[in-house]
Every structure is written in C-alpha cells, then in structure tokens.
Amino acid sequence: MSSAGNDPRQPSAAKPYVAPPVPPESLPVDYSGFIAIIFGVAGAMLRYKLCSWLAVICCAHSLVNMRNLETDLKQISTAL
C-alpha cells in the first residue's frame, strides 16, 4: 500500500533546521577534561597506575565529545 498520493505534507513549505548560535560562555563545562587533569596529576604524583589509566580514558572521552568549533591543534595537543 502506497500512501504517497495522500501525503498532506508540503515539501515546498519545509525549511531546513538552522541551530541558533550559542555563545562560548553558555556552553556546558567539560567535566571529563577536568577529571582527566585531576587523575593525571594524582597518577603522576602518587604513582597509581589506576589513576593514570582513568586519566587516559577521561581524556579520550573529552576529545571524542569535543565540538568542531572548539577543535584547534593547540587544545588537542595540550589535552594529550
């Protein structure tokens, strides 16, 4: 059964969604990057391997969730 002829939607009236601009001050805080720094310092100072691995995992999580507008080489190299 084809209902293409009975479709009430109008393709000519459809408008593509444009996301509203969001200022950088109102973006949510990157908690995983902050936790990666804390675990990295704890792993280096206290020589806990678990803290170091958690820092690597949190850093990877932070890099994966990074938005395109935040992406620059300096920030990525600092995070690694």
39-76, pLDDT tens digit by residue?
888 898 888 889 889 988 988 888 887 766 556 666 66
The confidence score (pLDDT) of residue 22 equals 76
Amino acid at position 64, single letter: V
Say how many Å lie between the first and final Cα of the chain, rounded: 55
What's the predicted TM-score (pTM) here? Answer: 0.56
CB-based burial label for 55 (10 Å; 0-12, 13-18, 19+): buried
| Position 4 pLDDT exceeds 60 | no
Read off the pLDDT band of 21 (50, 70, 90): confident
